[in-house]
Structures are given as structure tokens and as C-alpha cells.
A and B are shown apart, each in its own frame.
Chain A
């Protein structure tokens, strides 16, 4: 098809005065393949758009070059306009002569504007049509992890009419809900809550629960994951459109933080909860109990909650004296501030240190020496029991799962999720969501928010049963691909896989729906087998070529 370019210059209501538009027109009209150069004052308004449309139709052009404001502002609208004229929306190339030219410089910038236009024209000549196509998506959802977050996700999905399969590693549902006695920020006790959620799941529609089961492999992409599940001795494949991970966390003590050996007198929060639940284990009531928090500098939301809970509990059950040594209290979770006030009101003492306290054991008691920065005094406390803080650690198998999923981990071994461009529950791979405590230090109210956003994300992808994609925008040329696997290893969104084309040849293939269009693969392929329409090597270099012509 002969390239026939129509050029529209917009002077933004006559406000771009440091550009000589007629001069530019004169210059561009002579270029090969240019059908016309129009000057408009208001391309973005209805009137301007109509004029543009009628010119495109009457001159029968097949490439549109627009010099106007930033493409971030206008590109989308012009693409839709082209589409309405039955011209492929990819046949559009925009020169930003406003923000990045007229507005950015004081002096006359006709020369620069002309160059920006030549760049856009050079690119326009090479543009290829992109077709949009509909792909079916599987509407079943896999939820991994049967704690609060996993159960809540399952329930919400089923209420929205999506079929959910809940896979739990343990023999029963509940996660932390079944382990913990007292919970704050909830109307009900964890046990009651677990009871009602379990019932709802049993009665719920479209729900399948697999306990004592684990995920061993995840293949494919959004809309079409193939997951291998192991249960008992057997392993079987299942297909899902999306996956929600709610694998929670495991509470643990970091020994390097304490340099302490747990003993009868130095115990973990978990030990204390056990004793609280079965007081007969105790020979006599402890009179003085110390709690210690933030020995390493990161203060944790959940550790704070736990200490507050437990300090209150020992006060209530045994009437013991309770002292909390801490660096900072993180009370930003629901109800934590209230809890803290309650603790102070019942006479629990809070001591704030900056330098790590000295801890020693003598005569069956534990001595804690610290400098309180508020009192400015050295304090020495001898207590019957010292309860050390617990940290949230990633559950066992997180590393293995992350490599199955091709998702990164943060420095603490939790799933990576801190990225300003991603929603917190996004994993970086489309269709895979991370919710609840598997993302780190989250309480129930935050876990519920996660669940809500993940379920919304799933609906967006799967609710209609199909998705619209730009087909082969990023494409591997099967003849050039050497199956070196580089692109598969580097794609940050896990959108590429190896497919077999015949008995002896395998090549990389990009899954349109999962591809987020970053071009990392195209830049790295050692065989130059990947093309990214709109940003092919040729198109980028054609732009470079126009500079300073």
C-alpha cells in the first residue's frame, strides 16, 4: 500500500507564537508521500475534529501526522477518531510541539518544531496496522491459602458469581484465625469469625475447597493458567483465569535480633499465648512480666498489636505487673490506639529505649537494663518472665512459590509489591494477585481491603468472559527466534513462553493479554527476533535519523 500522509498542524488557538506555521507547511509539503499540510487552531475541539475527519476521508490518506499538544493528552482521542473513520488507529504519529517545544523555550523554535515533525513523519511511514481481537478468558479463580484473606476472597468471588477453588496446605481452614485466642479490631472473636466464615463457605455457591493440598506448578498466563495441584499422593492439572495468593505469614523470632537463648523465663509471644490458654502449665503466677519490642529497628504493626493484646491479657488473668520496653509503638492499625490507651489505663508501663537493652539471667529471673529516653534514667527491671517480640516471616515455601510464579521477593523475603505504578495487590504478572499477610505486616482490616481490591481486579479481567487485546503488538518472528530463552527469562510480566512449532523446533511466543508492552524483550533479544509495533528498531532509528536533517 502506497503511503499517503496527511499532516495537521495545530497552533493551539494561535497561542504557539514562537513557531512559524506557514514556513513549516512550505517545508513539509514538498516531502515525498505527503498529500497535504493543514494548519488548524483547534484540533482538539469538535469543530477541529470534524475538519480533520473530513480531510482524512476526502483525501483518502492512510497515515496521519499531527503536530499539537502532548500525546499523553490527545493521542487517545485521535486514535478513537481514526477508528471511527475506519482507519487503523496505529496509523497515527504525533509531534509534541507544545509542551516539549513552544512552551519549553523562549526563542523562536520553528526549526525544532520542524525537526519534531520530520521525526513523526519518518515514523509514520513505517507504521503497520494493529488489529484488535477478542480472546476468551477462563472465569474460574484459584485462591491459594485458607486463612482469613483466602476465605474472604473465596466468599466475595462466589457472591459475584465467579467460581472459586480454595487450596489450603493445612488440614483445615483458618490460618491465624484458628491459632489465636484474642483478636482486636474485630467485632467477634477469631474462633467465632472462623466458624461463621467456614459455614458461609460450606453453604456458598460455586466454591470448591481443597485442604491438605498444594500448588506445584503454574503455567500459562492471565485468562488461561494451568495449575498443577498436589493432594494426597496424586497430582492433577486444573485451569484458571486468575489466581489470588493469600498464603499469609509465619510468626517467628529472629534470633540474631536478640542474641538470646529461649529458656523457661525467656519466651515467645506464642509460648505466652499457650500458657494463657493452659495456665495449669504454670507453677505459680508470674508477678512481673516484661515485654520487649523493636530490638531491631523496624517496628512492626502486628508485633505491637500482639504485645498490647498479651500485656492486657496477663494483667486481666493474673494481675501481673507488666512492662513494655520498646523503641516505637506502631499503632496505625484499626483499634490499636484504643488498645494502647486501655493498656496505659490499666497500669501497664511503657519504657522507651534507643540503645538496645542489656538482658541477663540470674537466679531464675531475667534482668533487663535500659536507658529510658523519656525519663532520661537508667532502669533495671527484674522480671519472672520476659516475652520477646515475634516477627512476621514469609511462610515456608514462599521462595519456591515465587520462582514457580516468576514473581520477585523483597529484601525480607515477602512478595515484592512496593511499586508506585502497581496497586499493592498486583504481583507484576497480570491475573496474579497477592493479598493479606503474605505481603507483610498486615492486620485484618488491611487484609480485607486487599481482598476487596484483588476481587475487583479479578472481575475486571474475567467478568465478561473475554478480553480485547491489540494482537501481536509485540511479536516474536518464529523464523528468526533461536529459542535462547533470554526473553522468557527477562520479561517482567511473565508473558512469554516457549511453544513447539513442530517436532524439532521450539520458539518463544508472546501472550498478548499478559504482555504489558514494555519492550524489554525486544531490546535484549540477541537474534533481533522481536518487533514491537510502534517502537520497532527501524521506527526508533527513523526518528533519530530525522534529527538535524
Chain B
């Protein structure tokens, strides 16, 4: 699923400064599950905004709604009546959601309340880790179902670097070396010959990986 994180309130406030009526739209799928943009988070943001505006003596009318999936035009279409009553939309969907809303309601400005982080899975309650970088050329079939692109700190495709030490990564000794994991997994499957397979280099930009999002709430 897509993992996202709420933007700081300050930034959101700046984006919507000057509007008096906004619609806050949550997404009921990925971002609900990672505690970033579901009905509850919509309520929190909306409450925070009313407090912040009220404190400054400014009026802000917020209406709240959470739809099944923001990345579907037909589902976004249901918002039409509500959108007509507001000056701007604040979306708690991922980037795809924001863009779908913007496309459906071209005349109304849409602002993202979240930063979309990665494709990942829950590590435990309240913590999500990146497991796929959506690289577009999936090689999981040959790596024992462990993605080196994400889980290797250097994104190496042809075995570990010289920094692997007792199964840990030299970049972060807390983290497992992805290639050690791959080796072990392939060993279990009796497919160690795959370790010899060569992948030509790809071009990845410098990014810290794997990404991680920890919720502040409990």
C-alpha cells in the first residue's frame, strides 16, 4: 500500500491562508490504513485548523468527508455538491488522489495535506517500512522475494558490497544486509546459482532507503 505522512500544520495553514470555506477530503484506502488520511485524521486536521484559525480570530468553515478511493474519478465525482460550496479543497489522499481531485474539479484549487512517502507495509502497529520503490522492472523472482532496490541501503543489484558484516549493513548496523537475506533465502530454496546472475547498472538517485514512517499516536 501507499504510505504517507501528514504535513506540519504550519505548512497547511500557509497553503490555505485567505480561504474561508474549505472541504477536507480523506481517502478510505491506503492512507486510512497507515493512519495518515482516513476519517479520523480528517477530523484531527479539521479540528486543528479550526483551533488555529479561531485563535487568530479568523473564520474558517470546514466540511469533512472521506471517500472510498481518491484515485478514482467516479468516486471523486460524488463530491461535486460539496465542492460547489467551498473555495478550496484540502486532500488527505496520496499524490494520485490529489491529482484525481484536481482533474475532476479543474476550477477549484486542491492542496495536499500529506507527503506521500513510499510503497510499503506495516512493520508493527504504527510503524510502516518501505518495501517497494516501484522501479518498474521487478526482479523479486530472482532474489528470493526480497527487494534489493529498496532493502539494500545502496540499492545494489549484484550481490553485497564489501561493507556487509555478520549479516548487517555498513550504512546502518541496525539494519539487515539485504544481500545476506537474499543469500539465505535462495539457499533455503536451493537456488544459490541465482547469486551469479548479472544485472546491468540502473540509475537511481541518491535517496535514503528503505524509508520508514512512525506514527506519533498510540
Contacts and interface: CB of A to CB of B under 8 A. Distances in A.
**Do A and B belong to a common assembly?**
yes
Given A482-B32, A482-B33, A484-B33, A527 B125 contact: no
B160 interface: no
A494 to B, nearest CB: 14
Given A482-B33, A484-B33, A526 B125 contact: no
A15 B122 CA distance: 58
B43 interface: yes
Given A482-B29, A484-B32, A525 B40 contact: yes
A524 B29 CA distance: 16
B176 interface: no
A532 to B, nearest CB: 15
A525 B35 CA distance: 9
B38 interface: yes
Give the most central of A524, A526, A527: most B CB within 10 Å: A526
Contacts of A484: 32-33
B39 A490 contact: no
Contact of A528 (B35, B39, B217, B218): B39
B214 interface: no
A526 B124 CA distance: 16
B40 A526 contact: yes
Given A526-B33, A527-B32, A482 B125 contact: no
B41 interface: yes
B159 interface: no
Nearest to A484: B33
Interface in A45-70: none
B28 interface: yes
Contacts of B41: 526
Contacts of B29: 482
Nearest to B35: A526
A524 B28 CA distance: 15
B125 A486 contact: yes
Contacts of B38: 482, 526-528
A285 interface: no
A489 interface: yes
B125 A490 contact: yes
A524 B218 CA distance: 7
Contacts of A524: 217-218
A417 to B, nearest CB: 23
Nearest to A526: B38
A524 B35 CA distance: 9
A460 to B, nearest CB: 32
Nearest to B1: A484
Give the most central of A485, A486, A490: most B CB within 10 Å: A486
Contacts of B66: 527
* Chain B binding surface SS class: mixed
Interface string A469-493: 0000000000010101110011000
Nearest to A488: B125
A482 B28 contact: yes
Interface string A410-425: 0000000000000000
Contacts of A489: 124-125
Nearest to B217: A524
Interface in B22-39: 28-29, 32-33, 35, 38-39
Contacts of A485: 122
Contacts of B218: 524
Give the most central of A480, A485, A490, A528: most B CB within 10 Å: A528
A524 to B, nearest CB: 8
Contacts of A528: 38-40, 43
Nearest to A520: B218
B13 to A, nearest CB: 23
Give the most central of B29, B33, B122: most A CB within 10 Å: B33
Contacts of A490: 125
Give the most central of B32, B43, B218: most A CB within 10 Å: B32
Contacts of B122: 485
Contacts of B32: 482, 484, 526-527
Nearest to A480: B39
B215 to A, nearest CB: 10
Nearest to B37: A526
Contacts of A525: 40
Interface in A503-537: 524-528
Contacts of B125: 486, 489-490
Contacts of A486: 35, 125
A485 B28 CA distance: 14
A484 B39 CA distance: 13
B143 to A, nearest CB: 27
Contacts of A482: 28-29, 32-33, 38
Contacts of B39: 480, 526-528
B121 to A, nearest CB: 11
A480 B218 CA distance: 21
Interface in B160-218: 217-218
Contact of A527 (B40, B124, B217): B40
Nearest to B33: A484
Give the most central of A480, A482, A485, A490: most B CB within 10 Å: A482
A105 B122 CA distance: 50
Contacts of B35: 486, 526
Given A484-B33, A486-B125, 19 more contacts: A482-B28, A482-B32, A482-B38, A485-B122, A486-B35, A489-B124, A489-B125, A490-B125, A524-B218, A526-B33, A526-B38, A526-B41, A527-B38, A527-B39, A527-B40, A527-B66, A528-B38, A528-B39, A528-B40
8 contacts: A482-B32, A489-B124, A526-B35, A526-B41, A527-B38, A527-B39, A528-B40, A528-B43
5 tightest CB-CB pairs across the interface, nearest first? A484-B33, A526-B38, A528-B39, A489-B125, A526-B40
